[in-house]
Amino acid sequence: MDRDDKNVNAPQDEAPEGGQRRGRRGGRDGGPGRKPPEERREQSEWEEKIIQVRRVTKVVKGGKKLSFRAVVAVGNGKGQVGIGVGKASEVISAIQKGVVDAKKSLVKVPMVGTTVPHQIMGRQGSSRIMLKPAAKGTGVIAGGAARAILELAGIGDILSKSLGSRAPLNVARATVDGLKNLRTFEEAARLRGITIKQMLA
């Protein structure tokens, strides 16, 4: 009887140990060292959009050297937007360099409600883009690189037309150039030396 009791009790003694091991494994997965909420808040502040990724081939003495060029736009949807270019031997590294470059060249966009204050023409190389204010509810009437830049800037209603070259990088830079040269009514009145009422009269 004693031997049978020992055999019956043996698996019961091992069960709690197995349970403890399972509990430890579960604890490792949800360790206290992680801070996902804070990282997600930092990432949600700036939104990134990849405009173009191209493979570049450079002919050298030993053969051909392959690399990648990434054009990335960064914005917070609150009137700040920038564009950057990154080059690396891997796509991920090129995108990361593009994001860093874009954050160095952020532009503050003046807005009136959900649109721009006045019509303007942005230029870069042989690319030109016209930006025109639109009524509320119109939406973003743009395509390609210009649409990505305008959406990241937080503009909700605008009309645009690309004139000239349609190269994505030049179109994106032309859009940023137009947004950078926008002026508010207060700035225009101050430059003219008159009040806002006199300017709008």
CATH top-level class for 110-187? alpha beta
Q: Give the DSSP letter of residue 81.
A: E
d(CA 31, CA 28): 5
Q: How many residues does the chain have?
A: 201
pLDDT number for residue 36: 54
**pLDDT single digits (tens) 95-105:** 999 999 999 99
Answer yes or no: is pLDDT of 30 > 80: no
pLDDT number for residue 186: 85
Answer yes or no: is pLDDT of 43 > 70: no
Domain ranges of the chain: 45-104, 110-187
Answer yes or no: is pLDDT of 75 > 60: yes
- Average pLDDT score over residue span 75-104: 94
Centroid of chain to Cα 23? 40
Identify the architecture of domain 45-104 in CATH: 2-Layer Sandwich (3.30)
CB 103, CB 74: distance < 8 Å: yes
pLDDT number for residue 33: 53
